Amino acid sequence: MRGPHNIWRLARTGATLERTGAMKIVLDAFDAPPALRFVARALGLPFKWLGYRGDPSMPPATRALTALGPAYIKFGQILSTRPDVVGDDMAVQLRVLQDKLPPFSTEEAKAEVERELGQPVDRMFSEFSDAVAAASIAQVHKARIASSGEEVAVKVLRPNIERAFRKDVDAFYLAAGMAEFFSPGSRRLRPTDVIEHFDGVVRGELDLRLESAAASEFAANTDGDEGFRVPQVKWHLSGRRVMTLGWADGVSLGDNDALDAAGHDRVALGNRVLQLFLNHALRDGYFHADMHQGNLKVAPNGDIVAYDFGIMGYIDEYTRRVYAEILYGFIRRDYQRVAKVHFEAGYVPADKDVDEFARALRAVGEPIFGMDATRISMARLLTYLFEVTERFGMETRTELILLQRTMVVVEGVARSLNPHINIWEIASPIVSNYISKSIGPRAVLHDFANTAQVLARFGPRLPALVEDVLMQQSNPAPVDRRPRKRWFALAAFVGALVGAGVFAAIQAAF
């Protein structure tokens, strides 16, 4: 429930960071300025005794986030993929949040499965192990289907997880509202809209029926992708709080020592992760939006296996083209083109200077172009990018939040596999291929075909539209009837006829 009572939750967040010893570590990791350090410590120290104690056996940052709850754990999972931002030591510590959290009991999990699927566990599964992985929202058990003997992974939501997330998200709404009220400059970042977007994503993640559908769609889209697999959904053993997938053996993509011991090529894996993400985002417009190491395995044959499809991203065709043009412009070092695309898409206010914006983008691109990852400070780059967005009045685009966040995570995963990765070289063939297909004569014909197909749907309504136009012409309407409607009907009729003909011609051409 939203309201001022959530101030207590926010105060307790600062107090928990102080009590667990995580406050200074977090501030150091982000290289926080002196003013922010002073405010954070001044607010946290007096209330230190209010903070959660957490598990003393855990490192401070991990201890604080796990004590605070699932929404904070989600934030920690993102940071765990960015050693270049938070440092190697903290990244390793936070990686525990991906799939090694304390599990709830197997008996509770079995009870949840029985309640959801309406049958005794022993009748459905001949084997049902203790939890093999536990994250912020759910945990996974290895099982064997009684009727077929097939090994599967059974994902079960944590008990009362919906209520726990609701409390955290309500506090986040209050924090966003306070930021907008006390700092008018933050409004361009639309913090409340960002939290609303996060809220919608989380609500979807708490319904495993939606995750099952996402896994099924993602598997269909990526069926032909070499070196990539998605486990098959077992629909008859899945529901709102339980999801069953085919079991996938393999090594976690976050365990470099195990990958090396198994003889996998980490350089090739890092390249493939980045290229797969770009392919899914640009080609399909549907991508895995939680691609941290805890959700990726490497099978014995070298295939990358993805799982945990609670957060998926979708971008429409127009946005894909804009995104590809921006990436392509950076790859070609054509900053004027990148600037113009930003203005055409409305990402930068029209009253700003396009040439000045192009120069600011050059200051972003030139220091990192052609560099391997070890020579790029992502923390400094993100700081400068934030300054650029503020200078040019760029607002947060909520429709791109998942895409931007996932890009940061995936690039971090690729870096962890190969610290010397050159993202420009890896991205270039994928982006260039998409550009060649989406911008040019063939793309124009394809767009016409899609438009014609939409117009052709008016076909069944054409007789009624024509009759209505003719009737109104023979019986003139009063002056206040606005005759534009008749001309719209006639235009729709002509457009549908033309569309049907064009669509048929283009279909034949293809």
CB 208 within 8 A of CB 155: yes
Rounded distance, CA 183 to CA 206, Å? 33
The pairing of beta strand 228-229 with beta strand 304-306: parallel
Exactly one of 84, 168, 170, 290 is catalytic; name it.
290
**CA 381 → CA 139, 179, 375, 397, 427, distances in Å?**
36, 24, 12, 19, 19
Backbone phi, psi, residue 454, to 5°: -65, -45
CB 415 within 8 A of CB 270: yes
Task: Provide the CA 487 distance to its chain's centre, in angstroms.
Answer: 44
Coil, helix or strand at residue 55: coil
Look up tokens 């030591």; give the residue.
Answer: 89
Coil, helix or strand at residue 352: coil
Contacts of 277 (CB under 8 A, 6+ apart): 287, 288, 291, 406, 407, 410
Instruction: Give the E-state strand segments of 387-481 in sequence order.
Output: none
To the query of whether residue 316 is one of the catalytic residues in this protein, the response is no
Return the amino acid letter for 39: V
Residues 113, 116, 119, 124, CA torsion sign: negative
Token pair of 336 as six digits:
């004027």
Rounded distance, CA 42 to CA 36, Å? 10
**Residues of the chain by 3-state class (helix, strand, coil), percent to 5:** 65, 10, 25
CB 496 within 8 A of CB 456: yes
Residues 24, 96, 290, 288, CA torsion sign: positive
CB 202 within 8 A of CB 75: no
Rounded distance, CA 498 to CA 455, Å? 8
Coil, helix or strand at residue 239: coil
CB 213 within 8 A of CB 238: no
Look up tokens 């289907």; give the residue.
Answer: 145
Rounded distance, CA 85 to CA 374, Å? 12
Rounded distance, CA 310 to CA 294, Å? 13
* Residues annotated as part of the active site: 290
